[in-house]
Structure 1
Amino acid sequence: MFVDSHCHLDRLEWDKLNAQLPDVIDAATAAGVEHLLCVSVSLAEFEQMAALVAPYQNVSISCGEHPLHQTDTVDTELLLQHCQTSKVVAVGETGLDYFYAAETKQAQQAAFVEHLDVAATVRKPVIIHTRDARADTIALMKAHRAEQAGGVLHCFTESWDMAKAALDLGFYISISGIMTFRNAGALRDVVKKLPLDALLIETDSPYLAPVPHRGKTNQPAYVTAVAAAVAEVKGVAIDELARQTTDNFYRLFAGIERKNK
């Protein structure tokens, strides 16, 4: 069985999918995906997202503000309030993105620190987005007790040195469909080095559909294509890759009750 460790079900474009949420959940289940983590990118939209997926026992949620979605400041009190509830299993998505928004570095860093502090307070893992901000991401993680909460660098596309620095802090590395892209040779080289017991897989749907689904709206069922690509690079059977990444998921997100053992 597989797990999609990072998706955005509230961001799916239903007209493009020609489907509704129950259809997407059913398709994932049929593909062998036993659990989905629906990741928040907006505090303002969090309650709407939570209500959308509430009927589904195989969907868990996080709470946070994406660095490209935030205003100048994050409502830390509201973030803490939501993250203290049992239904929220992780803090984020948070982090730093200097590729798209280098001009907001200071605001991003301040918000990232707030998320790290909340994660350390509630002792729930933090989901980190990082792009072109390697040194600052690791420095802030070290300075703000990231190792106390643990977490994951999601949709990883950075260097082995950065991955190693995160691994040394007890973090996991999550791989998306990007590694199936033709120009992702450097990422595949990093994946070869990653230890199996620190790997997660994700779709980041509706974005970044993996080969052979390129050009389509991504959905959780497609995480099996990510798993197949990672298994090939790692030289392991896909069943072993599925078992290990699923075990890793439940170990990291300890607030999720595992139904299938």
Structure 2
Amino acid sequence: MELFDTHTHMDAPQFNDDREEAIQRALEQGVTRMINIGFNRETIPTTMKLAESHDFIYAAVGWHPQDAITMKDEDLDWIAQLCKHEKVVAIGEIGLDYYWDTSPKDVQHEVFRKQIRLARELGMPICIHNRDAHEDTVRILREEKANEIGGVMHSYSGSWEIAKMCLDLGFHLSFGGPITFKNAKQPKEVLAKTPMDRLLIETDSPYLTPHPFRGKRNETGYVRLVAEAAAELKGVSVEEIAEITTRNALERFGIR
């Protein structure tokens, strides 16, 4: 069984004491590939270092909406240069975050639009962070013609109505730990309706730890628990979920 964690942060400080051990545990759980996300001036270099030092780790680079206020023109140029690297497979995570509100909404919108335009120019898929900003996220994706490149709605948490709009734009829906939570009714319902060829799984480690480890640090090896929950919701075997989601990820990110 081959699993693909499409969104992880194994470069995070939470792994400073046992990063390589955590990566090894993921391999032992059947994780054969992962995409590490570099989302600001601090995490892009550490993400690139991880990708360059492990054959099975790929990178996505972008500017997170929480950090939008810090982005400068040279940072966008930096992302553009990094996208030429053979291990960089997407621009992200980018998008909107109205929950933390650490950057003004107009600044978030501007930075989001600039990165979509860059992705279209380079022909790169995008990884979307969307927290409490569903309508504006879809509107900007439409206005900036993101359907021309597509991408992934990371850790999808919206309604099925919004999900259908994202699917119509050519995006995949990725699900993580919350689908294992007892009270997470909406993501479970959306996953059950998501077409198999648009389904991805992730951990977002060290965050959003799945049951039964909720409350503790998440790590990429726990994507197996996400696959098991997805299999139950879809009424198929975990082996089938692993095969389908891995194939979807390889195709979506252009990985051979």
TM-score normalised according to structure 1 size: 0.92
For residues 28 and 42 of structure 2, what CA distance do their matches in structure 1 show? 33
Query: Does the Cα contact within 8 Å between 1:72 and 1:107 map onto a contact in 2?
Result: no
Contact 1:68–1:97 (Cα < 8 Å) also in 2 = yes
Distance 1:127 1:52 in 2: 19
The equivalent of 1:198 in structure 2 is: 198
Q: Cα deviations across residues 189-239 of structure 1 (Å, max 9, x unaligned)? A: 111111111000000000011001112210000000011111111111111
Equivalent residue, structure 1, for 2:136: 136
| Percent of aligned pairs sharing the same letter | 37
- 1:34 to 2:32 alignment: yes
Aligned to 2:114, what secondary structure does the other structure show? helix
Query: In the TM superposition, what is the alpha-carbon distance from 1:103 to its structure 2 partner?
Result: 6.3
Aligned residue for 1:235?
A: 235
1:95-134: CA deviation from partner (whole Å, max 9, x where unpaired): 0011221861111111110110111111111000001111
Unaligned regions of 5+ residues in structure 2, if any? none
What displacement does 1:44 show?
4.3
Residue 86 of structure 1 aligns to a residue whose secondary structure is coil
Secondary structure, counterpart of 1:13 in structure 2:
helix
In the other structure, the counterpart of 1:83 is 83
Q: What SS does the aligned partner of 1:152 have? A: strand
Cα distance in 2, alignment partners of residues 188 and 159 from structure 1? 10
Which of 63-72 and 176-185 deviates more?
63-72
How far did 1:73 drift?
Answer: 3.6
CA distance in 2 between partners of 1:29 and 1:73 (Å): 35
Q: Distance in 1 between matches of 2:10 and 2:157?
A: 22
Tell me: CA distance 1:45–1:233, structure 2 relative to 1, closer, same or farther (3 Å). closer
Following the alignment from structure 2 to structure 1, what is the Cα–Cα distance between the partners of residues 143 and 218?
35
Asked whether the 8 Å contact 1:84–1:122 carries over to 2, the reply is no
- 1:249 aligned partner: 249
Structure 1 match to 2:209: 209
Query: How much has 1:72 moved relative to structure 2?
Result: 4.6
Q: Following the alignment from structure 2 to structure 1, what is the Cα–Cα distance between the partners of residues 215 and 198?
A: 30
Give the match for residue 110 of structure 1: 110
Paired with 1:113 and 1:231, the residues of 2 have a C-alpha distance of 35
Q: CA RMSD in A?
A: 1.5
TM-score (norm 2): 0.94
For 1:88 and 1:174, the matched residues in 2 are separated by 19
Choose 82-91 or 173-182, whichever is displaced more. 82-91
Q: CA deviation at 1:148?
A: 1.5
Aligned residues of 1:14 and 1:20 also touching (Cα < 8 A): yes
CA distance in 2, matches of 1:102, 1:44: 17
Residue pair 1:207, 1:217 contacting (<8 A) in 2 also: yes
Q: Does 1:94 align with 2:94?
A: yes
After superposition, residues 179-194 of structure 1 pair within 5 angstroms as 179-194=179-194
Indicate yes or no: 2:15 matched with 1:14.
yes
* Pairwise CA distance, 1:248: 0.3
Residues 150-169 of structure 1 mapped to structure 2, 5 A cutoff: 150-169=150-169
In 1: Cα distance, 2:233 partner to 2:135 partner: 27
The amino acid across from 1:173 in the alignment is: L
CA distance in 1, matches of 2:4, 2:234: 18
Asked if the contact 1:155–1:176 (Cα under 8 Å) also holds between the matched residues in 2, the reply is yes
Tell me, in whole angstroms, the C-alpha distance in 2 between the residues paired with 1:103 and 1:205: 23
Aligned to 1:57: 55
Structure 1 pair 112–214 and aligned structure 2 pair: CA distance change class (3 A): same
> Match for residue 4 of structure 1?
5
Preserved CA contact (<8 Å) 2:69 2:108:
no
1:12–1:205 Cα contact (<8 Å) kept = no
- Please report how far the alpha carbon of residue 81 of structure 1 lies from its aligned counterpart in structure 2 after TM superposition: 1.8
Deviations 1:148-176 (A, max 9, x none): 21100000111111110010111100001
Q: CA deviation at 1:185?
A: 0.9
Residues 238, 201 of structure 1: CA spacing in aligned structure 2 closer, same or farther, 3 A cutoff? same
Q: In 2, distance between residues paired with 1:82 and 1:130?
A: 24
Q: Which residue of 1 aligns with 2:121?
A: 121
